[in-house]
Amino acid sequence: MILYEQSPALLVVIPLLSAFAINIFGLYNRRLCFPIAFLALAATLGAATMTLARVLQAGPISYRLGGWPPPFGIEYVIDHLNGLVLVTIAFVSFLAVIFAKLSVEKELPDKIPQFYTLFVLLVTGLLGMTATGDAFNLYVLLEIAALTGYALIALGDNRALVASFNYVILGTIGASFYLLGVGHLYIMTGSLNMGDLLTILPGLYATRAIFVAFLLVLCGVWLKMAFFPLHTWLPNAYTYAPSAVGCLVAPLVTKVSVYIMIRVMLSVFSSHYVFEVLALTGPIVWLAVAAIIFGSIQALAQDNLKKMLTYLIVAEVGYMVGGVWLATGYGISGAILHIVNDALMTFCLFVFAGIVTYKTGGHMLSDLQGLYRKMPVTMTGFTVVALSMIGVPPTAGFFSKWYLILGAIEAGSYHFMVALLVSSLVNAILFFRIIEITFFEPKMDHHTGHAPEITINEAPFSMLMPLLVVALGLIIIGIYSGTIVTNIIQHSVPGGLL
């Protein structure tokens, strides 16, 4: 059956072709853009799920593009790790486009065709980055995701242009470092295919060039994922972007960069080289601790809801990087599980911020007053996500934190464990503060003399549905965390660390 065999290619080709369909049809009738995007992303979700099912059934897939055997041609390698991430990307982007419909009509009414085209192209870039097994192909798709990201963020109003320019400069430095790192690998080995590099590199582990190659790729990816102290572009870029854009880029772009780091560490340089030959695990875990503490403290200091959420992203990236560099089975499993969980949690939070902007026009914390009475369903969803961010069972956030803490204990990195607990405490303060604000009624209206009426003014269904679906998903994933880890994630952890 063609669909079944070709699903690795289809999950990139479908969004790519539909992006052009959206653009062409959008020239004639703007109302066709959303349906095409919706159908395309639904089909992509189907292809991604089918691919993951294939991997679970039969093991890793190798797909040769152009029919050429690797290392002469480009190869897609789908194993358990990127199968899981692919399904996450497809799922979140499908729900994000559902949310985007009303938000874009309000915020960007004259740019609808361009928005949907760039949106779908961004999803294509993210999917391609995750599926590929060729180091240079990853760079090209990284640039597609980056360019679409720059453009989408620049569509916001206010300070979006300056934030986007800053992002362009730093993002290009990051991508160029990655390219240079791949160049160093190429000049020393002559190959670009990840599997091929894994076999050739062990003879070269003692050379400075390979060490510098690893450093360059690592720094490039750290810039892209906003790992402290290379995070400076993130808060402004994600705060001032349009709401619909925030719902797509905030959950996914940084997590895919974390995936790239894991992939390069484990499948190009082996875990032996990364954890044992280089002596970097200690300093990097300390950096992760700094990221978590810095992100949490900065989040506490904000009175702008979206900016607070962006600093929480910085802290969450610290969880994942620290988890991977703990170099233990639990740590890496926790980090991979957290990729999925954090994508879902960040998506919910940004959808919530988007709903607040849609209904009240602003995104400061003071705009949240009285929301509890006006939008009870939204607040229920938000409360579930808040519990997950804090780490309360049975939500998913608890389980990934649990694995990370176990990993920290296993590795003896107690400072990382303390940072995780401090972060949970700070999240509790932050979210309870928000929920408290939403309980407050707005003050008395001075002109009429009595308190304004609070009527239920719930968010529209197309915005509410993604929030609730993912909130429910967080609970379900939390309950099934054990199954997910044993059946999917364990296969990705290198053997010596389990």
Partner 1 sequence: MEYLVSHYNYWVYILLMMVGLYAMLAKNNLIKKVIGMSIFQTAIIVFYVSTGAKREASIPIIAHGHGHDAAHTVIEAAHYANPLPHVLMLTAIVVSVGTLGVALAICLGIYRRYKTLEEDEIQEQLHDSL
Partner 2 sequence: MIWQIDLSVLSLIVLCGFATIMVKDLLSAAIIFGAYSFLMCLLWTEMGAVDVAFTEASVGAGVSTILFIAAAYQTTRIVKPRKSGRIFAKIVALAASVAMGLVLLAAQTNFPGFADPESPASLHLSPYYITQTLADTAVPNMVTSVLADYRGFDTMFETAVIFTAGLAVIAILRRVKHIDRCELPDPYTISAGSQDNIIRFVSRQLVPFMQLFALYVVAHGHHSPGGGFQGGVILGASFILLAITYDIQLVQQRMNEKWNILLGNIGVLIYASIGFICLLLGANFLDYSMLSKILPATDPVMARSHGMLGIEIGVAIAVMAIVVTIYLNLASNGKLDKGL
Contact residues: partner 2, CB under 8 A: 2, 6, 9-10, 13, 16-17, 20, 23-24, 27, 63-68, 71-74, 110-111, 114-115, 117-118, 121, 124, 128, 136-137, 140-141, 143-144, 147-148, 150-151, 154-155, 161, 184, 186-192, 207-213, 215
Taking the complex as a whole, the smallest distance from the CB of residue 176 to partner 1 amounts, in Å, to 6
Q: Which does 402 bind (CB under 5 to 8 A by kind): partner 1, partner 2, none?
A: none
Pick between residue 176 and residue 462 the one whose CB is nearest to partner 1: 176
Task: Name which of residues 162 to 201 contact partner 1 (CB under 8 A).
Answer: 162, 164-165, 168-169, 172-173, 176, 179-180, 183, 186-187, 192
Binding segment for partner 1 (CB under 8 A), chosen from 144-152, 389-397, 404-412, 439-447, is: 144-152
Give the span between the Cα atoms of 68 and 41, in whole angstroms. Answer: 29
**Nearest CB to partner 2, comparing residues 91 and 211:** 211
Three-state SS string across the chain, please?
A: CHHHHCHHHHHHHHHHHHHHHHHHHHHHCHHHHHHHHHHHHHHHHHHHHHHHHHHHHHCCEEEEHHHCCCCCCCEEEECHHHHHHHHHHHHHHHHHHHHHHHHHHHHCHHHHHHHHHHHHHHHHHHHHHHHECEHHHHHHHHHHHHHHHHHHHHCCCCCHHHHHHHHHHHHHHHHHHHHHHHHHHHHHHCCCEHHHHHHHHHHHCCCHHHHHHHHHHHHHHHHHHCCCCCCCCHHHHHHHCCHHHHHHHHHHHHHHHHHHHHHHHHHCCCHHHHHHHCCCHHHHHHHHHHHHHHHHHHHHCCCEHHHHHHHHHHHHHHHHHHHHHCCCHHHHHHHHHHHHHHHHHHHHHHHHHHHHHHHHCCCEHHHHCCHHHHCHHHHHHHHHHHHHHHCCCCCHHHHHHHHHHHHHHHHCCHHHHHHHHHHHHHHHHHHHHHHHHHHCCCCCCCCCCCCCCCCCCCCCHHHHHHHHHHHHHHHHHHHCHHHHHHHCHHHHCCHHHC
Query: Closer to partner 2 at the Cβ: 215 or 377?
Result: 215
Q: Using CB distances below 5 to 8 A depending on partner kind, what does residue 439 bind out of partner 1, partner 2, none? A: none
| ∠ Cα 86 89 93 (to 5°) | 145
Residue 152 makes contact with partner 1 by CB under 8 A: no
Would you count residue 143 as binding partner 1 (CB under 8 A)?
A: yes
Q: Is 140 in the site for partner 1 (CB under 8 A)?
A: yes
Closest to partner 1 by CB, 179 or 335? 179
Q: Which residue lies nearer to partner 2 by CB, 201 or 356? A: 201
Using the contact rule CB under 8 A, the part of the chain among 43-51, 158-166, 412-420, 455-463 near partner 1 is: 158-166
Q: How far is the CB of 335 from partner 1 (least distance, A)?
A: 30
Alpha-carbon distance of 11 to 130, in angstroms, equals: 11
Look at residue 395 and give the partner it binds from partner 1, partner 2, none, a contact being a CB closer than 5 to 8 Å depending on partner kind: none
- The nearest distance, CB 190 to partner 1, in angstroms, is 8
User: Residue 65 binds what, of partner 2, partner 1, none (CB under 5 to 8 Å, by partner type)?
Assistant: partner 2
Q: Could you tell me how many residues of this chain bind partner 1 (CB under 8 A)?
A: 24
Least distance between partner 1 and beta carbon 144 (Å) = 9
Q: How far is the CB of 75 from partner 2 (least distance, A)?
A: 10
User: What, of partner 2, partner 1, none, does residue 121 touch, CB below 5 to 8 Å by kind?
Assistant: partner 2
Minimum distance of partner 1 from residue 288's CB (angstroms): 25
Residue closer to partner 2 (CB basis): 160 or 411:
160
Q: Decide which of partner 1, partner 2, none touches 291; Cβ closer than 5 to 8 Å per partner kind.
A: none
Contact 35, 112 (CB under 8 A): no
Footprint on residues 431-460 left by partner 1 (CB under 8 A): none
User: Which residues lie near partner 1 (CB under 8 A)?
Assistant: 136, 140, 143, 146-147, 150-151, 154, 159, 161-162, 164-165, 168-169, 172-173, 176, 179-180, 183, 186-187, 192
